[in-house]
């Protein structure tokens, strides 16, 4: 299994540009989520999904959209990038249930100029 994969690894955007961060998992996990991590900080939940066709907002959803058309993929869209969205973005997945390990992707480092 490849686990959780994310593309791209690095991205530089200009203010106002849009882009999609890709996330895929091959473990047939129902639950997927997106986090952002700012320097010296923990992870903050952006959006999450408990299954295909179901998404919900986390702690910091503004400026981001998600969709879950398949179990495997959970893309994160930045509609109009702002410097405040400069961060490292992590995708994670796990099986449903309250005792399951969450698996993280390697992250995407995004800089918005």
Stretch that binds other proteins, among 15-23, 66-74, 76-84, 104-112 (CB under 8 A): 104-112
* Position 31 contacts other proteins (CB under 8 A): yes
Nearest approach in angstroms of CB 29 to other proteins is 12
Burial 54-93, CB ≥16 within 10 A → b, else e: ebeebebbeebebbbeebbebbbebeebeeebbbbbbbbb
User: Which residues form the interface with other proteins (CB under 8 A)?
Assistant: 4, 31, 33, 35, 40-45, 48, 50, 56, 58-59, 90, 92, 96, 98-99, 101-107
């Amino acid at each position: 299994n490849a686990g959780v994969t994310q593309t791209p690894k690095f991205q530089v955007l200009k203010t106002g540009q849009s882009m999609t961060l890709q996330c895929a998992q091959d473990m047939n996990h129902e639950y997927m989520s997106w986090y952002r991590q700012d320097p010296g900080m923990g992870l903050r939940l952006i959006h999450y999904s408990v299954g295909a066709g179901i998404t919900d907002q986390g702690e910091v959803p503004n400026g981001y959209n998600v969709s879950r058309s398949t179990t495997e993929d959970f893309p994160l869209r930045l509609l109009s990038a702002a410097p405040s969205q400069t961060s490292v973005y992590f995708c994670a997945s796990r099986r449903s249930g309250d005792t399951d390990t969450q698996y993280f992707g390697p992250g995407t480092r995004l800089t918005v100029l």
